Amino acid sequence: MSRNFLWGSATAAYQCEGGWREGNKGLSNWDVFCHSEKNDVNPVTGDVACDHYHRYEEDIRMLAEGGQNAYRFSIAWTRILPTGVGERNREGIDFYNRLIDTCLQYQVEPLVTLYHYDLPQPLFEAGGWENRRIVEQYLEYARICFEEFGDRVKYWVTINEPNYETLCCYGYGNYPPNVQSLERRWRAMYHMMLASARAVSLYRELGNQGMIGLVSDSYPIVAGDISPECEKAVRKAELFFNLCVNDVCVKGSYPEDFLEQLKEDGYDLSYMLSEDLEVFAKGTVDYLGINAYNRYIAEPCEGDGTNLKANNKGNGENEKFQIGGWFSLGEDKNMEKTPWGMEICPQSIYDLLMTLKELYPRTPVIITENGVGNYDEPVEGQIHDAYRIDYLNGYVDWIEKAMEDGCDVRGYFVWSTMDVYSWINGYKKRYGLVYIDYDSEELRRIPKDSYYWYKNKIQEKGMKFHG
């Protein structure tokens, strides 16, 4: 394979495609949730979103004209298998064939995610990722995608963010099934990791020649102070956010102290079967995808309680995050933050990459998402997002520093290619390099200042980043 550095941007199917009833597509858990009374924080849907389903050629052309040579997108399981199982849907397969072929027409490398939050509703109703049967169902779906698209797709992602998705589903409770139960979270995440390992092994058994990995939202975690109590909190935060995913997919096993903590919490772990140990050991990834946004400051718990509340209103107010018996998260009041409470700290990517280099020295990294969401408004038909440029510029420069210091980074993807539906945050929280005018009937695309900055940055860094 070419070792050219991947300079790209990313989207996910439900967040950008629209066409929710077209092409014989089935209903996903997000289709149903967004049309239910539970969707009461920012009650909008992804029914149309950016209309990427019809506008993909324009979007990929703009991406390529912006100097990008790679596009990360996800496949909607419901377009391939409308009910999650059964006969493959040719209309959905044909859509992704057109999308992939368009990427290649514009010399854009497709990096394809098999699962990015949107689960076929019948599987969701049967327990979703909490039900072990989903591992075989996912594997059949993955097999179809490898068979249909593997001749042209050379970079694959099995699962997007097992940590963050399950934290939202079963911690904050703001994603379907909208419950708060960490015990159910660990069960669902376990089956995600098992499905990922099985898919990695299947990919190799089928003789594919590309690279397959998992995407993990990972965080550099620092201690609130130099006390031994804070150091213990850092370790537990590492287990909770990072190692419960990264160790499993890279090393092929769970950290012992993670399992001990779950036992100490009194959780039923009967779903962890002994025969799975070999599955995890065999299904280690070719690369680790990292969605990098911010860092965490770990401190000891204040009492025994757990407090999980998300800031989905963009009002700058964050609740105290605490996992009883594990850790709490502190705050550096001197750091700039977005209205959604995300700290702006580009140097954190260097610290994270150096940690990954130490933990997993033989596993390459691709930065599969990096970006910042905020309120963007046109001024005389233009979008001046200097804050985004500053943020992304800092990240790219610190990634370069990490590469110079020995971290094997193979690619960088900005989140997101264009403004997309931002899950429970709706449409006002914008991440895109391209502005989508949702008030216009034609969903007009307007490149932001950051789009042009990124094109220039790729030209500036391009040759230096090529391996």
Q: What is the pLDDT of residues 236-285, one digit of tens each?
A: 999 999 999 999 999 999 999 999 999 999 999 999 999 999 999 999 99
User: What is the per-residue pLDDT across 171-193, written as a single tens digit (0 to 9) for each?
Assistant: 999 999 999 999 999 999 999 99
CB contact at 8 A, 263 and 227: no
Residue given tokens 């963010």 in the structure block:
161
Residue 316 has pLDDT above 90, yes or no: no
Distance from C-alpha of 326 to C-alpha of 95, rounded to nearest angstrom: 45
The pTM score is: 0.97
C-alpha angle with apex 92: 87 to 94, nearest 5 degrees? Answer: 110
Residue 214 has pLDDT above 50, yes or no: yes
Indicate the pLDDT class of residue 1, thresholds 50, 70 and 90. very low
Residue range 114-141: mean pLDDT, rounded: 98
For residue 166, how far is the Cα from the chain centroid?
Answer: 12
- Burial, 442: exposed, middle or buried (Cβ in 10 Å; 0-12, 13-18, 19+)? exposed
The C-alpha R_g of the chain, in whole angstroms, comes to 21
Q: What is the pLDDT of residue 353?
A: 98
Distance from C-alpha of 71 to C-alpha of 10, rounded to nearest angstrom: 6
Distance from C-alpha of 217 to C-alpha of 222, rounded to nearest angstrom: 16
Question: Does residue 369 have an active-site annotation?
Answer: yes
Give the active site residue among 148, 161, 165, 238: 161
Kind plus residue range of the DSSP H or E element containing 200 = helix 182-205
- Burial, 361: exposed, middle or buried (Cβ in 10 Å; 0-12, 13-18, 19+)? exposed
> What proportion of the chain, given as a percentage, has pLDDT over 70?
98
Distance from C-alpha of 46 to C-alpha of 201, rounded to nearest angstrom: 33
User: What is the per-residue pLDDT across 55-101, written as a single tens digit (0 to 9) for each?
Assistant: 999 999 999 999 999 999 999 999 999 999 999 999 999 999 999 99
Other beta carbons within 10 Å of 261: 19
Per DSSP, the three-state class of 51 is coil
Residue 117 has pLDDT above 90, yes or no: yes
Residue 2 has pLDDT above 60, yes or no: no
Question: Does residue 161 have an active-site annotation?
Answer: yes
